[in-house]
Amino acid sequence: MDEQERIGNIISKILDENPDRVFLQVPDGLKKKIKVLEDRLDDEVEVVASLEPCYGACDIKDIEARNLGCDLLVHIGHTRFCRDEEVKTMYFPWYYDMDPVPVLKSSLGVLGDYRKIGLLTTANFLHSLEKARGFLESKGFEIFLGEGKRTEKGQILGCDVSSALSVEDKVDCYVYIGSGKFHPLGLALKTDKPIFRLDFEEKNLLKLDFDRFKRQQIVAKENARQAESFGIVITTKKGQSMPDVAFELRKKLLDCGKDVYIFVMDEITKDKLEGIDVDCLVNTACPRIAVEHRTGFRQPVLNKDEVGDIFGFE
C-alpha cells in the first residue's frame, strides 16, 4: 500500500466513526503527516493535533483529548498498548514495507559461522520479517521468531524483549531489523548473545557493540549498592505509570535500611531533578532513560528490575 492509499484508508476509517472532534497523536517521525491529515479531515470534523513528543502507544493523551472535548483519539504509528482509554481510540500502526533481501544478499558474510538466528524487529518493520526469514532459510540458516508477552511474533519493544528471550537458548545470535540502538540495546542488557542490525537507511548489516553501555550498567549497579538514599521516579504517562510498583519497591528498599522518596514527572529530565539530593535514582517509567541515557544524570540511574538484581528481590 503506498502512502496516499494508507492516508486515504486512515481518513475513511476515522470518518466511518462519525466523530465531532478528533485528537490526533503522531510520533515525531510522522509529524509531517499532521497537515496532510488535517487538510483532508477538517471539512468534515474538528481536528486538534498534539505536538507533544510521543515515543509509543504507552503515551496516549486520552485525558488531554477528553479535556479538549474530543470524542475520538487517533493514534498513528504504534500498536495498542493501553487497555483503558478514556475516550474512544483508534490505532493506526505505520508499517514500512521494506525488502531486507538486497541488504542481506550483500552482507551475509558478516554473520560468520552463526547459523541459528533469532529474527527481531519493531512494529514498523513487521512486514519485513517473513521476507528476511525466507531468504535466510534458503541460504541454510535456521530462523527463530520468538513469542512475546504482549507483542507480535518476532516483535520487541524497548521495554519488552520477551519474544527475543523466549528463543535465547536456541539461537547463536540475533538479527534485528530496524534503525537506532534503543531496541537492540534493551536486549543486549539482558543477554550475552551477539546482536546484528539490518539498517535500511544505512543499507548494511552490522554487529552491534554495546560494551560501553554494559560497563555503564555495571558501574551504576555498583554505585547503587553503596547508596543510602533512593529517589523512585514515576511518570504520569498513562502506559508507563507504575505507582504500585514504585510503592512496593519503596517498601523493599526501606526494609534494606535505605531512605526512599517518590517523585513524579511526565517527561523525566535531569533539570527537574535539580536540588533533589538523593544518592541513586530508580526509574519505573520507560526504560530508555536508564538504558540509553544513564550517564545524563548526576546520580546513578537504575531501572526497577536492576534494583532487584542488586538487593535480591523480584
Which position among 286, 289, 290, 302 is part of the footprint of ligand SF4 (CB under 6 A)? 286
Residue 10 interacts with ligand SF4 (CB under 6 A): yes or no:
no
Identify the DSSP state of 278. -
Orientation angle between helical segments 33-41 and 3-16, nearest 10 degrees: 50
The set of cell numbers assigned to 235 is 511518570
How many residues in the chain? 314
Residues touching ligand SF4, count (CB under 6 A):
10
Contact flag: residue 240 with ligand SF4 (CB under 6 A):
yes
Least distance CB 237 / ligand SF4 (angstroms): 8
Q: Show the binding pattern over residues 41-60: x = contacts ligand SF4 (CB under 6 A), - = does not.
A: --------------xx-x--
Residue 95's SS3 state is coil
| Pick 143 or 161: Cβ nearer ligand SF4 | 161
Nearer to ligand SF4, 14 or 159 (CB): 159
Taking CB under 6 A as the criterion, the residue among 75, 197, 238, 288 binding ligand SF4 is: 288
184 near ligand SF4, rule: CB under 6 A: no
Segment interacting with ligand SF4, rule: CB under 6 A, options 91-99, 152-160, 224-232, 306-314: 152-160
Residues whose CB falls within 8 Å of the CB of residue 294, separated by 6 or more in sequence, listed in order: 213, 216, 217, 220, 300, 301
* DSSP state, residue 87: S
Q: Which amino acid is at 150?
A: R
Distance CA 61, CA 42 (A): 20
Helix (H, G, I), strand (E, B) or coil at 23: strand
Contacts 24+ apart (CB under 8 A), 192-196: 193/118, 193/168, 194/114, 196/110, 196/111
Among 19, 154, 158, 178, binds ligand SF4 (CB under 6 A): 158
The piece of 3-11, 84-92, 155-163, 243-251 that touches ligand SF4 (CB under 6 A) is 155-163
User: Where on the chain is the footprint of ligand SF4 (CB under 6 A)?
Assistant: 55-56, 58, 81, 157-159, 240, 286, 288
